[in-house]
Structure 1
């Protein structure tokens, strides 16, 4: 393949023991990784040494599974509050971007804007906010809500929330009165903070529904997305870039970065053996519970695992993820067990197993073919698969001229090729 003149952007998506649901059972995994700050710092420093644009931390304001036994077998419910963790990582890194998830459903715009602006200043202009609208009944119950807000209502609140935050981050409003009075929020004053060297934190969004795409087109600098085929990735990419243009922004103002979970080794056989080892560690009940959680359904209970995925009613939860899973199940004629085991590997994201040449061939195809501006890398287990990515895939990307050999600047916006934010 011919190398592109532009270079892809890479995020390192951190998870306590890894993105594979059974990563915590891997013999090289650290069981207490979720509450070991040194573990996260080591991963951050490794990603920075490799030249990654950013770290990415996701979050949920509650445990992941209602069943305590299932939750105890995933390790995903044990972990630090991400903004506090970013502050700790910021002190022990120098250039890599620092992106964390925070929900518009259970925060207020002023407090969130102030916290991210502070981390942005403390880190020298490296912070980013991943905007989400919480889609879990468990989270809702932790904040006095009587069930999950309807999808459209969550995005109406998110749209006003994002608007207020971006106005608070605007240098002209840092000390002046804001005087915002909207349907969901009233905010009087500015933040009382100077802008960071990048102007304002980078705005990241991960929703793929129609309303999520519209919000991203208006507000996002980076969009993360779950896609599994080149055609679906290309369709999303073209659609979102068109919406960005329609919103009066240049298409290059938004970087689209699909999630990818690679398992890489020197030979294809070694890579497949590593992946097979992880797959064998998935208990059926854990895989089914994870799948049901993301589909926001209890329709799988009692069904034969070797039978087909049933018809599902529309969800108020993660609508785009439900659509992705159903599409894959129908396309590949998968049983419930097969869908669950596949989903457990990367939660519906693109999965690649092979040599560095195999994997970079695929990444380059999506990148050069106009289906991605880069990728949010989701190692199956830590630190092993991040180390393998850095040792095998990064050199191959550089050999083809697809990835930087040194950081272009000292801020996240500079390295992403974005202009300074919020009017700075």
Structure 2
């Protein structure tokens, strides 16, 4: 079969550009508007996209004066979105640091049943001190400890999803037997971080396990993705960086005994689309003018672990910044931002403009053909299996991508014209995991 792109719509408020909410057409209250999100879900499905994705964080993202900061719980929101769609996948972020395996495994199994097999879990370890303090901790857990905990969390979750065999429900009215106790497999897990009896109180779901997604780029994050992820959301600015990440993660997956082709790598792109390049550039300029530097400086200072006074707008980043390995927060994001600024000799003003457009993800500005060309080039150059589409403005940016870029990709034979499967695993070409005891009961 001809290799096809995988496309995910990353939905973020009224757009990924931090100033998108200030455009006249944007609704500052959209974050809690269910009909708004239902519309976005319908648009993604109209484009035959593999999936849509909601990020999440267990706390406020800092100063609420800067940009819309409300965030409905994503699995609840995706349940509502599932009701107005039939095929598009539904991926939610949930933290392994601030949840427990039983309640999270139950939540995703429930979403998988409700959606008919379209649930996905973006696994994060959460790298902010603010979140730690929301859960009774004085300090952020160490980077390596967070990933060790996440590793065991996924292990327990898999045991819980497999705690029912697929045929455990008999529904035998005549015999008066609803289910077969011999086809339950409680985890009885006792590990370093978790002690979980089980079994789950939700039967095995349509996909067996939800699609697993991961987005870390640190050494620990890459190993975690190579062990567990079906899809990897990543951040690269250049083709060479993307090719190196792609090759590295595929090799790691093979070392863990996995088929590298089953691990789909999707770099993020921020497409600003216009009928002409000038029209697209005009939107970029409008958005850049709406950024408030004082907000952006505070955000950048927090990421770099320096004071705002150390970041003059019209100078390059200071030379004394710490190294990536000494960051206990998001090491991959830190390395990306500092590397990009050093490589391109950006001033702080230029850097916050780039970050405001997509937090360091690759920006593409131009016509639909320009965006399609960029996607095709990376896809055919060993840099990506697909892309995490991050429109700077919503809903118009997603509508433009679906209505004008997707048809070009379809005409070139790079993307599906119709869904051929029913589940999210079908869309990503990932098989449903067999139950470890599928051929036997315990009786």
TM-score range (shorter-chain normalised) is over 0.9
Partner SS for 2:308: coil
TM superposition shift of 1:172 = 5.3
Match of 1:58 in 2: 55
Q: 1:157–1:60: structure 2 CA closer, same or farther, 3 Å change rule?
A: same
Structure ID, larger Rg: 2
Structure 1 distance, partners of 2:299, 2:417, is 38
Query: Do the aligned residues in 1 keep the contact of 2:163 with 2:198 (CA within 8 Å)?
Result: no
Determine whether 1:194 maps to 2:187. Answer: no
Determine whether 1:22 maps to 2:19. Answer: yes
Query: Do the aligned residues in 2 keep the contact of 1:262 with 1:379 (CA within 8 Å)?
Result: yes
Using the size of structure 1 for normalisation, the TM-score is: 0.95
Query: Do the aligned residues in 2 keep the contact of 1:175 with 1:192 (CA within 8 Å)?
Result: no
Determine whether 1:322 maps to 2:331. Answer: no
Residue-by-residue CA offset, 1:277-318 (whole Å, 9 max, x unaligned) = 11111011122223234x252333353211111232231101
Query: Do the aligned residues in 2 keep the contact of 1:227 with 1:349 (CA within 8 Å)?
Result: yes
Structure 1 distance, partners of 2:265, 2:162, is 24
Determine whether 1:378 maps to 2:382. Answer: no
Using the size of structure 2 for normalisation, the TM-score is: 0.91
Match of 1:300 in 2: 308
Match of 2:71 in 1: 79
Determine whether 1:233 maps to 2:225. Answer: no
**RMSD (Å), alpha carbons:** 1.5
Q: 1:171–1:419: structure 2 CA closer, same or farther, 3 Å change rule?
A: farther
TM superposition shift of 1:215 = 0.8
Match of 1:183 in 2: 192
Bigger drift between 306-315 and 401-410 goes to 306-315
TM superposition shift of 1:35 = 0.5
Structure 2 distance, partners of 1:331, 1:274, is 26
Partner SS for 1:372: coil
Structure 2 distance, partners of 1:186, 1:158, is 14
Structure 2 distance, partners of 1:25, 1:41, is 22
Q: Which consecutive segments of 4 or more residues in structure 1 shift more than 6 A? A: none
> Which blocks of at least 5 consecutive residues in structure 2 are unaligned?
166-182, 439-443
Correspondence 1:121-160 to 2 at 5 A: 121-160=113-152
Structure 2 distance, partners of 1:79, 1:109, is 22
| Residue of 251, 274, 285 corresponding to 1:276 | 285
Residue-by-residue CA offset, 1:370-399 (whole Å, 9 max, x unaligned) = 110000100001111111111211111111
Tell me how many residue pairs correspond in the alignment.
415
Structure 2 distance, partners of 1:296, 1:47, is 35
> Which blocks of at least 5 consecutive residues in structure 1 are unaligned?
none
